[in-house]
Amino acid sequence: MLTVIKLLISAGLIYFVNEVVISRSRPLLGSMIASLPLVSLITFIWIWSGLKENPAEQVEKLAAHSTGVFWFVIPSLPMFLIFPWLLKKGLSFWPNLILCCLITMALYAAMAFLLKRFGMEL
């Protein structure tokens, strides 16, 4: 049952942002909502509630998750500038999306490599 609740909340957020942008024609508001770290905050709650019996493990997993999210947000940011730039240059949606995903994957790999060199393992 908890899994269903998690799925409904997560899917509901995506649906809500989509409705704000499309139905209400408020792209900036939708962007602001989408930029909130809602997935991370929900994940914090799921980790916290799933590890109630072991407070030390709660703290360790929450801290590790939060630190990891911080470091992997950085390589995802260029996509949000490259995507609209390529659209305005005339690259159609699907090739643009695929290219941006490939660029982001390469940046994630580079970040993972850098983090490993500084002693942080995935």
Rounded mean pLDDT, 1-9: 84
Rounded mean pLDDT, 64-75: 91
Q: Which of 22-26, 98-102, 113-117, 118-122 has the lowest mean pLDDT?
A: 22-26
Q: How confident is the model at residue 37 (pLDDT cuts 50, 70, 90)?
A: confident
Rounded mean pLDDT, 25-52: 82
Q: What is the pTM of this model?
A: 0.77
Judge contact between 44 and 65, C-beta under 8 A: yes
Whether residue 74 has pLDDT greater than 80: yes
CA-CA distances (angstroms) from residue 111 to 8, 66, 92?
32, 16, 28
Domain boundaries defined on the chain: 1-36
Terminal CA-CA length for the chain = 30
Whether residue 23 has pLDDT greater than 90: no
Dist CA 74 CA 9 (whole Å): 26
Angle between the N-to-C axes of helices 93-117 and 55-73, in degrees from 0 to 180, rounded to the nearest 10: 120
